[in-house]
Structure 1
């Protein structure tokens, strides 16, 4: 059973946190027992456990798996087979993950009860934030929340992103009345499928109610910055709507339009003039504090790949605290930040032991390689993580939640109530300490991901595949691609992928002037070759800008290696980093650039379909 948590009961909520973290080991064992007892007769577990619910039997016989291992079971359910293949409770929908497999989103099973479990975690955030920030019940939150399209499956189950699932649920619509849960955005604007209309209407409502706003945010830092850029482009029209007391004609979604008009109500030239005076300036430094003067913090995820946006957020938000409240994924909601006002680089999440059964595969640091990139943005000369990938070793080394050690690195493995058993999430975490008896973790990075701007996660294999297809266009010119690296450029909004290509002629000739059309085709081909989520972000969501290739002269990567060696890297074991975030390293490569080229059109994108088999 999911414990009850009333967001209006501050003391009760904090007591729940104390109880769960104090008895972390006991709650974990009880959680595993409940999962096994409930799902023992599923087709998946029956073959491994032979009727036993013993933890030792579970850890000995049930293998640690990845998505490719469980994908056939999930696809069978999507095609109409019963949930009992993996879950005793009916699977009510499939959650599409931002991680990809074969160019398509992963699909994760979920149930009605799991929706209650997510709601429990959201409700628990309220007393935690109230513990650190006073007066949150005296105003509203301007949260910019969006949904994405749904996908039908042959079984009739809906497949959609986890946040879309939650925002469209009765749990969200009927959330307990609490000023913390009151948003400036009416539900109708959040549920509008046209992202441009949704963004415009949510910002309009937020500006109208500016004096009531005590916190602002979005789920990810990238989405919040995209909203600021949208505001930069549309503030004149927004002010005109406020001044005239009406909504622009292009807002055609009737529910959305009516909801906004209920808030706008009448002309307000005084407010329009005030907002106009704040926006019509040369610099938008601190614009969030100016437009919403009572704001106490900015609620956005700034851990993991979102850390690259911290300096830009600081510029626009004028030093307001950046708060990452929770750690979650499509597979499972994991835990919360019990010290929400900590600096972004110090954020640690406490995994709640009743959310799932957690195990951890140790990963060790390798000081010899330059392949990794430090999560704080510096070139990682000693931060590459060597993974223990041998299956026999993995089974023996996976440890329980309370057995992890401070300062050590682990890959997260979950067993959920919804049909995932010993599933490798792919997140690398570092233990920073304990709260009572529950460990706290810092998110280090997503395993194997080298580039990310928004919800995209491009790994080294995908990047190499895209480059291999693109470089074909320069080979007829006699050019060889001798080296490459990349970085996510977030200096502009939206951010975009940048590739450094070192090209050399097959003979001894100097590199000729490259035709823009050929290099633009290389850029486009790379984008076409990247996965479904990248193409959706680039084409439909427009949360990623055009891919850029910067061609560098022969010798640029020798200069990069010299820099790395000067910083302590071993010459014998040096490998070109495939993603760079060090300012010094980027300066070196940029000094060798002889040409910069962008993709001139977005890649093709269509919503994927699940075909019956």
Structure 2
């Protein structure tokens, strides 16, 4: 891999040549003259978004067996979460596509093993979820990428404390979260790794534990689900099989130990106490998940390291973390030159000529929109993410995730993106000593004058009064970029509105998204609605 990175430019050209050669006779590439060189490809094939190729994807989903986008058959569609863009998409996947993803995961695992050699054969508390899959008119499977991986690659969950039968049967995310916690705590002395797709999932699971730990301890003590928290028959059956391996005396001792730990006034370092053999927490900590890093650090304590996971999308692996031990604020992603073809589109004002750059042409410190070409028929496709080039790893760029391109607030042609919003909220709340459990915002353009509305859910309300919240509101209003503050001074935009919502509001927002088909494992709170 590192040799491939040293020759990144040539590896990328060879990869693109192979994709173009293989798919020259597809309907899509023939529309543009089936280019066979990088230069011809860039001059003849347009840069597109999902909406531009949705018609071709629908043809495949409806049963068109001609080579619409690629020569290889589409084995399934990955359903994007839709929580960032507000729109669900189905992304075509081929066997070669999946093979490339598997190679990326193996590479990532090798770097993790190098940084954390103490990880061994212990158990993993894996906070993953499956949602219902469905078939298109042509019978092609559609589902979340995590669901497909868990159901088709049994080895993925072989070390999990939660039985496979539970993970694939748990249609209610809260019941399955309860089961994850219950099974993990039953095996707490064997857990060496705590893992989820997103940092939010771990923090939300621990919030549930704070409210349900007494019921969990009773279920462990009695060896039965007397709490009534689990009603799904298959979850109950899987638990009944699991608990047979644990005798009453050990269960009682374990429940007493957990009770003592969870009764502490402070939950700082709770993960290390509940799982004394734990050596690592792995999860995504970039982008919208950065907000949950302070909370996650507090839960983990000073002795339990946290590692940032890789950069995945429904379209493929956009980069891996080649330094898993790096500080969470410094996590960057190395592109894989042999996995997919990358191009980088400079943002707006920085790109008046509309040029697009190859990976070796990008400039450290500059922001770009990612454009990819993959094995599954996506050509010069805008993923919708904005990244900043942080450095180079041999001959390929390392990327720091910035924000989703369409996740912005705007009411009068100004723009505040989700990263700026998050940074301001985190800074202001920290200065005020307020723990914001979660937040979102929208631009109220129907009001006169128009203004921003930010919703906060507080972790604790003790000592927080109206005066303090008004100061926070004023500080946020003054902290955005000059495009915003200038229009505030001109009174084109009205003062910002800060709304404090009830505890559990964002949990209900997640439940609504899950009911509409989003996988709990892939859910991200939309920052800009």
TM over 0.5: yes
What is aligned with 1:95? 78
The yes-or-no answer on 1:339 pairing with 2:323 is: yes
Q: CA deviation at 1:572?
A: 5.2
What is aligned with 2:21? 37
What is aligned with 1:247? 225
The yes-or-no answer on 1:27 pairing with 2:11 is: yes
Work out which of the residue numbers 423, 426, 440 in structure 2 matches 1:497.
440
Residues of 2 paired with 1:217 and 1:112: CA distance? 26
Q: CA deviation at 1:79?
A: 2.0
Q: CA deviation at 1:38?
A: 1.5
What is aligned with 2:460? none
Pick closer, same or farther for the CA change 1:271–1:576 going to 2, 3 Å: farther
Pick closer, same or farther for the CA change 1:596–1:138 going to 2, 3 Å: closer
Contact residue 561 and residue 574 of structure 1 kept, 8 A: no
Pick closer, same or farther for the CA change 1:497–1:443 going to 2, 3 Å: closer
Pick closer, same or farther for the CA change 1:232–1:207 going to 2, 3 Å: same
Pick closer, same or farther for the CA change 1:561–1:21 going to 2, 3 Å: closer
What is aligned with 2:192? 214
What is aligned with 1:191? 168
Residues of 1 paired with 2:477 and 2:231: CA distance? 58
Residues of 2 paired with 1:65 and 1:196: CA distance? 38
Q: Report 1:53-132 matches (<5 A).
A: 53-82=36-65, 84-99=67-82, 104-132=87-115
Q: CA deviation at 1:460?
A: 5.0
Contact residue 302 and residue 322 of structure 1 kept, 8 A: no
The yes-or-no answer on 1:275 pairing with 2:254 is: no
Pick closer, same or farther for the CA change 1:460–1:294 going to 2, 3 Å: farther
TM-score by length of 1: 0.69
Q: Report 1:564-583 matches (<5 A).
A: 564=479
Pick closer, same or farther for the CA change 1:63–1:135 going to 2, 3 Å: same
Pick closer, same or farther for the CA change 1:228–1:83 going to 2, 3 Å: farther
Q: CA deviation at 1:83?
A: 5.7
Contact residue 487 and residue 499 of structure 1 kept, 8 A: no
What is aligned with 1:511? none
Contact residue 77 and residue 141 of structure 2 kept, 8 A: yes
Contact residue 287 and residue 318 of structure 1 kept, 8 A: yes
Question: Which stretch shifts more, 263-272 or 55-64?
Answer: 263-272
Residues of 1 paired with 2:158 and 2:492: CA distance? 42
Deviations 1:528-570 (A, max 9, x none): xxxxxxxxxxxxxxxxxxxxxxx99xx99996698359x9789
The gaps in structure 2 that reach 5 residues or longer are 415-423, 456-465, 519-529
Q: Report 1:157-168 matches (<5 A).
A: 157-168=140-151
Question: Which stretch shifts more, 422-431 or 182-191?
Answer: 182-191
Residues of 2 paired with 1:285 and 1:575: CA distance? 43
Q: CA deviation at 1:285?
A: 1.4
TM-score by length of 2: 0.79
What is aligned with 1:470? none
What is aligned with 1:321? 305
What is aligned with 1:330? 314
What is aligned with 1:143? 126
What secondary structure sits across from 2:67 in the alignment? helix
What secondary structure sits across from 2:131 in the alignment? coil
Q: CA deviation at 1:245?
A: 2.2
Q: CA deviation at 1:415?
A: 0.3
Q: CA deviation at 1:254?
A: 4.9
Deviations 1:514-539 (A, max 9, x none): xxxxxxxxx9xx99xxxxxxxxxxxx
What secondary structure sits across from 1:98 in the alignment? coil
Work out which of the residue numbers 226, 239, 245 in structure 2 matches 1:260.
239
Choose between structure 1 and 2 for higher RCO, CA contacts under 8 A separated by at least 6 residues: 2
Residues of 2 paired with 1:597 and 1:243: CA distance? 33
Residues of 2 paired with 1:181 and 1:127: CA distance? 18
What secondary structure sits across from 1:282 in the alignment? coil
Residues of 2 paired with 1:301 and 1:569: CA distance? 31
Contact residue 287 and residue 402 of structure 2 kept, 8 A: yes
What is aligned with 1:417? 375
Residues of 1 paired with 2:478 and 2:491: CA distance? 12
Residues of 1 paired with 2:97 and 2:477: CA distance? 52
Residues of 2 paired with 1:114 and 1:186: CA distance? 28
Deviations 1:55-114 (A, max 9, x none): 111111000011111111112222222261112111122111123799540111111222
Q: Root-mean-square deviation (CA), in Å?
A: 4.2
What secondary structure sits across from 2:400 in the alignment? strand
What secondary structure sits across from 2:51 in the alignment? helix
Residues of 2 paired with 1:308 and 1:577: CA distance? 30
Contact residue 502 and residue 556 of structure 1 kept, 8 A: no
Pick closer, same or farther for the CA change 1:315–1:596 going to 2, 3 Å: closer
Residues of 2 paired with 1:562 and 1:604: CA distance? 30
Q: CA deviation at 1:181?
A: 6.4
Residues of 2 paired with 1:99 and 1:576: CA distance? 36
What secondary structure sits across from 2:82 in the alignment? strand
What is aligned with 1:474? none
The gaps in structure 1 that reach 5 residues or longer are 1-16, 365-385, 451-458, 465-485, 507-522, 528-550, 580-584
Q: CA deviation at 1:192?
A: 2.2
Pick closer, same or farther for the CA change 1:557–1:574 going to 2, 3 Å: farther
Contact residue 360 and residue 411 of structure 1 kept, 8 A: yes
Residues of 2 paired with 1:447 and 1:101: CA distance? 10
Residues of 1 paired with 2:260 and 2:17: CA distance? 61
